[in-house]
Amino acid sequence: MDVISVIRTKRDRGELSPEQIDWVIDAYTRGVVADEQMSALAMAILLNGMNRTEIARWTAAMIASGERMNFDSLSRPTADKHSTGGVGDKITLPLAPLVAACGAAVPQLSGRGLGHTGGTLDKLESIPGWRALLSNEEMLNVLDTTGAVICAAGDGLAPADKKLYALRDVTGTVEAIPLIASSIMSKKIAEGTGSLVLDVKVGTGAFMKNIEDARELASTMVALGTDSGVKTVALLTDMSTPLGLTAGNALEVRESVEVLAGGGPADVVELTIALAREMLDAAGIKDADPAKALADGSAMDVWRRMIAAQGGDPDATLPVAREQHVITAPSSGVLTRLDAYDIGVAAWRLGAGRARKEDPVQAGAGVELHAKPGDTVTAGQPLLTLHTDTPEKFEYALESVAGSYDVAPAGTAFTATPIVRERIA
């Protein structure tokens, strides 16, 4: 077997054999296949796709590249959630402790930012002392004592995906449905969770721009999970507008804490509770009310214990960017559009994301929103604030936000898109 023949097969729109898939995943994991060769194969997959048989085998090969975890020793049922990535999508931060406060164990393996979308681990690392890297023993201990853990997948868990995940981020192949589905599901199946809720984003700020592609991705992942014995359900949720009022790392942590304190933006609260209900139902917990757990402070208690258990200081002051630039409303009227993709790219350009897999991110960088679509604005009032430690980045970010919003005359009718658009089980 050689990598050139594998690349040519997919380049020429052929079907990869099980033997080809098993070999190339194993060889890439061992370093026999170079990054540039896997990049070529990933691009061929993006352009020509994979059928269900290929995706299932690719996922199985990713799982087989490492170990599988087991949570049978826990006294609680396990429930996990995964988002396909969005702008301002900080939902995991309040969601994990909320579901734990309602009686489930939440083993949340999360990732870094991909392209214009933020990464949960990047956000949490803005908390002084917080550690993303835990051994399996440490992860199980945090999960057992607090009910929730958010951490990076260990080196032994789907190591093929860890390499490919970083490569996709810097080679323009993030959007490939087969690679998204196999990346997510290989980790989640290997992780050993009993149930899984998928938050599949759809809209300008998502990797799936239209509802048809989102359905295809969701259906593919639900089938992969169900066939592997994991109770899996997916929600298709809107990502045409950023979630909440922040896109960045420390900015989003601050907003998540506001949600846990009983406040925060209405859309973040709505989606957090909707996903919590799905997770609890999938785990077989029928009598818990996540809205109550959010309001009475019990979710906040779990958050503080979880952050402290991973070395973080829940009372520490979060980093703030050294420089800010305010963008004001050009006219008075109704804000009718605020494009999630443009805002995500601006946050990335300000330093909240990375252009290369080895790049650092700025904890305080990002975009703060002062209005959402449907709000009435006045000419000259702040619309967006850009945050960065490196002011030379402002010009590049301003290019992204220049066409990101529309203000219509006062009295213009506006109808918001529902946050949860469909459910697939």
Say which CATH number the domain at 150 has: 3.40.1030.10
Per the domain annotation, does 380 fall within a domain?
yes
User: Does residue 13 have an active-site annotation?
Assistant: no
pTM equals 0.90
Per the domain annotation, does 421 fall within a domain?
no
Whole domain around residue 356: which residue ranges?
323-408
Per the domain annotation, does 64 fall within a domain?
no
The single residue of 81, 90, 168, 231 carrying the catalytic annotation is 168
Per the domain annotation, does 105 fall within a domain?
yes
Quick: pLDDT tens for 24-45: 999 999 999 999 999 999 999 9
Look at residue 260 and give its three-state secondary structure: helix
Q: Is the dihedral of CA 303, 307, 308, 314 positive or negative?
A: negative
Q: How confident is the model at residue 156 (pLDDT cuts 50, 70, 90)?
A: confident
Contact (CB, 8 A) for 59 and 160: no
Of the given ranges (80-84, 102-106, 320-324, 357-361), which has the lowest mean pLDDT? 357-361
Per the domain annotation, does 159 fall within a domain?
no
Per the domain annotation, does 165 fall within a domain?
no
The encoded tokens of residue 149 equal: 């853990």
The single residue of 65, 182, 183, 400 carrying the catalytic annotation is 183
What number is the average pLDDT over the span 300-317?
A: 98
User: Does residue 183 have an active-site annotation?
Assistant: yes
19 plus 135 within the same structural domain: no
Distance CA 386, CA 350 (A): 8
Amino acid at 19: E
| Residue carrying structure tokens 């077989």 | 284
284 plus 329 within the same structural domain: no
User: Does residue 387 have an active-site annotation?
Assistant: no
User: Does residue 187 have an active-site annotation?
Assistant: yes
142 plus 280 within the same structural domain: yes
The single residue of 10, 57, 81, 82 carrying the catalytic annotation is 82
Q: Which residues contact 387 (CB under 8 A, 6 or more apart)?
A: 248, 251, 320, 321, 323, 324, 350, 364, 365, 366, 367, 368
What one-character-per-residue DSSP string does 264-281 give? S-HHHHHHHHHHHHHHHH
Q: Within 10 Å of residue 364's Cβ, how many Cβ atoms?
A: 22
CA–CA distance from 377 to each of 244, 404, 408 (Å)?
17, 15, 10
122 plus 146 within the same structural domain: yes
CA dihedral angle for residue 140, residue 145, residue 146, residue 147, rounded to 10 degrees: 60
The single residue of 80, 122, 161, 199 carrying the catalytic annotation is 161
Domain count, the chain: 3
377 strand-pairing partners: 333
90 plus 229 within the same structural domain: yes
The single residue of 116, 187, 231, 277 carrying the catalytic annotation is 187
91 plus 44 within the same structural domain: no
The predicted structure's pLDDT at residue 357: 67
User: Does residue 131 have an active-site annotation?
Assistant: no
Is pLDDT at 116 greater than 70 in this prediction? yes
Contact (CB, 8 A) for 98 and 293: yes
242 plus 209 within the same structural domain: yes
Closest CA to 239 of 213, 280, 210: 210
Is pLDDT at 358 greater than 80 in this prediction? no
199 plus 98 within the same structural domain: yes
291 plus 202 within the same structural domain: yes
